[in-house]
Structure 1
Amino acid sequence: MFERVRRKLTHLLRSCPDDRTRAGETRALRQTIRRAAHLLLVPLVESPEEILIGGQAVIEGVMMRCPHSYAVAVRRPGGDIAVTRDSLERPSEKRPWLRYPLLRGLGVLGQAMALGIRALRYSAEQALEDPGQSKKRAEGSEGKKPGLSNWVLALNLAFSVAFFILFYKFLPLYLATLLKQRYAAFENLIAFNAVDGVIRIVLFLAFLTVLAQWKEMKRLFEYHGAEHKVVWAFEKAGRADLATARASTRFHPRCGTSFLLVVMAIAMVLYMFLPFRSFAGKFAGRIVLLPVIVGASYEFIRFAAKSQGVLWRWAAQPGLWLQRITTREPDDTQLEISIRALEAAMEMERSRGGELVVA
């Protein structure tokens, strides 16, 4: 009996380093997901007459969506491609009150966040799969899949929200307040909110620049570029094959980067109307106004996209510049993933009676 216990303890001790290594790799992937989740939100510029393709880079894959469907394609460690697809309802179809201006932007963004988390969860399950899992799947003994539990996803979302509030709301306001205490010129409301906005944009650019240096994020940005190239191929040529996608640009005006910059610009204007003088009042006002800012930003992007004039070019250009950081040139295997995701989403759209047109 004692010999059996000794052997069991010896086995457990020998297995500890491998378990710790595996846990460390899992934590690294979870950190990548956590930072990517709030970074790569895609604004969905909706139109009832057209199907506008949107997407998001995920772990070793791409999510593509149409107005009534979406699909996620992920490269497994074994080299094969996993694809999942499902139907979607527009937020305004489920809740008619989300058709109204300002409110519809909140509905679209809420759906985008929920869909992004769902896509990230699926990609994590596939990307974390052991290479030997494919063989087990073929033999019918797949076993339990690695992935992200509900509490991990909830923790990621809570971290992203807290990070956003502290980094983009609290910190710029705090630094602007310090400058106001030192320089009397910033007592002026316009000057104060201008410097607050500039600090916020500088922090945003610095954050993106730091992320772009990480190996994991470089890979993610390559898939981001693949998503843009395939969307362009479909919109410009009416098809999404490898040759057409390869020749397309990785910069797209409907990227989430443009939306985030518009949010920051509109915030600078709206904050000037806050009547508060205390730090606590200004900070609380920024939190309360966040839904209004998101809704107004969506309406601005929507109007500019429909007009396709100078306003649209003005709104899209800063985002195109920033995509030199948030996208990288993909290889053919990454383009293949993006094409598979788009084809699966369009197939689901057809099954629901959607008419596929070039946006």
Structure 2
Amino acid sequence: MMRSPFRLATAVRKPNGDIALEVKEQRPIAQKYPFLSWPIIRGVVGLIDSLVVGIKALSHSASLALEEEEEKLSSMDIGISILLALGIFAGLFIALPAFLSSLVDQFISSTFVYNLVEGLIRIGIFLAYLLLISQMKDIRRVFEYHGAEHKAIFTWENGEELTPENARKFTTLHPRCGTNWLIIVLVISIFVFSFLGRPGLVTRIVSRVLLIPLVAGLAYEAIKILSRYQDNRLAYILTLPGLLLQRITTREPDDSQLEVAFAALKGSLGEDNYVAGENRRDS
């Protein structure tokens, strides 16, 4: 799946070897409601939009891959899926770290150190989760397609024609990947949660869940700032953890996966905007 400001493209390799491409025109919701483009708020909107788009894309790609008639997801289906995803996230990465850190509460006097310990536990659980699911065959293929997307984008940004030969030489680690956002969310949450002190376990869990939108919005703003200074050494150091994490969330793709990524990228750009042979890094 690839998206540009005005298009969303989903490409799927069908069982017969053909590539099915679906391109949808999309209008940024902030054009209709300008306040949604305000700092912090735009990060929250982006998070919700990514969840909705991701769920729809998974449903669509699964139906194409299995050559089954697609059942259109209702608003209720999407809502339930989002709530389920958020529930799993809250359980694994909020409730569990809060509970584990409470076991050492009596041994730590500093509020910040206590929240730091909880944050490190959260990061550890997150890394363990990624390493665990990366061993699953289907997830490995997802990570290979993730790597294919990055190679396709690098190829286009460097003004080269989208061919497997050109794409192979590029890395699967991209500085503007959403994986970087996840790491920044985990780091920023340590500082935000520290302002709440050391409430009881239940209050701690509830307050952290309620603060997810704020943390997501702050992380989004941090990513935007870092992306403006990606050639700066300090910015590179700050994005390095996200790049290292991509060693888990991306894998080297094969040529057939690169072709699917090319199709999605071209679809998202449109023929008018896809120009090979020009440097497109600042697009």
Partner of 1:103: 41
> How many percent identity over aligned positions?
36
Q: Deviations over 1:249-301 (max 9, x none)?
A: 11111112111000000000111100452222222221121111111111111
> In 2, distance between residues paired with 1:249 and 1:345?
21
TM-score normalised to structure 1 length: 0.72
**Which secondary structure state, in structure 1, belongs to the residue aligned with residue 103 of structure 2?**
helix
Distance 1:349 1:297, change over 3 A: farther
Aligned with residue 343 of structure 1, among 254, 266, 276: 266
Task: Tell me, in whole angstroms, the C-alpha distance in 2 between the residues paired with 1:276 and 1:348.
Answer: 55
- Structure having the higher Rg: 1
Partner Cα distance (1:123, 1:101) in 2: 33
Distance of 2:197 and 2:35 partners within structure 1 = 30
What's the offset of the Cα at 1:237? 2.6
The answer for unaligned runs of 5 or more in structure 1 is 1-62, 131-144
CA RMSD of aligned residues (A): 2.0
Query: 1:149 deviation in Å?
Result: 5.0
Give the distance between the partners of 2:228 and 2:57, measured in 1 at CA: 28
| Larger relative contact order, structure 1 or 2 (CA cutoff 8 Å, min sep 6) | 2
What is the letter of the counterpart of residue 230 of structure 1?
A: A
Indicate the residue corresponding to 1:234 in structure 2. 156
How far off its partner does 1:332 sit? 0.4
- Residue 311 (structure 1) shift: 3.6
TM-score scaled by length of structure 2: 0.91
Q: Which residue of 2 aligns with 1:333?
A: 256
SS state at 2:247 partner: helix
Partner in structure 2 of residue 224 of structure 1: 146
2:246 is matched with 323
1:77 Cα shift? 1.3
| Aligned residue in 1 for 2:122 | 200
Asked whether the 8 Å contact 1:170–1:283 carries over to 2, the reply is yes
User: Which residues of 2 match residues 139-154 of structure 1 at below 5 A?
Assistant: 145=69, 149-150=73-74, 153-154=78-79
The answer on whether the counterparts of 2:155 and 2:167 sit within 8 Å (CA) in structure 1 is: yes
Distance 1:311 1:304, change over 3 A: farther
Match of 2:200 in 1: 278
The amino acid across from 1:124 in the alignment is A
**Structure 1, residues 300-335: CA drift from partner, whole Å, max 9, x if none?**
110111122234212321111111111111110000
TM-superposition CA deviations, 1:122-153 (whole Å, max 9, x none)? 101101216xxxxxxxxxxxxxx155754665
Give matches, 1:249-288, under 5 Å: 249-288=171-210
Q: Which runs of 5+ in 2 are unaligned?
A: none
Q: CA deviation at 1:357?
A: 4.1
Aligned to 2:87: 162
Aligned length: 276
1:306 and 2:228 equivalent? yes
Partner of 2:67: 129
Whether the 8 Å CA contact 2:40–2:218 is kept in 1: the answer is: yes
SS state at 1:237 partner = coil
Q: Which amino acid aligns with 2:86?
A: V
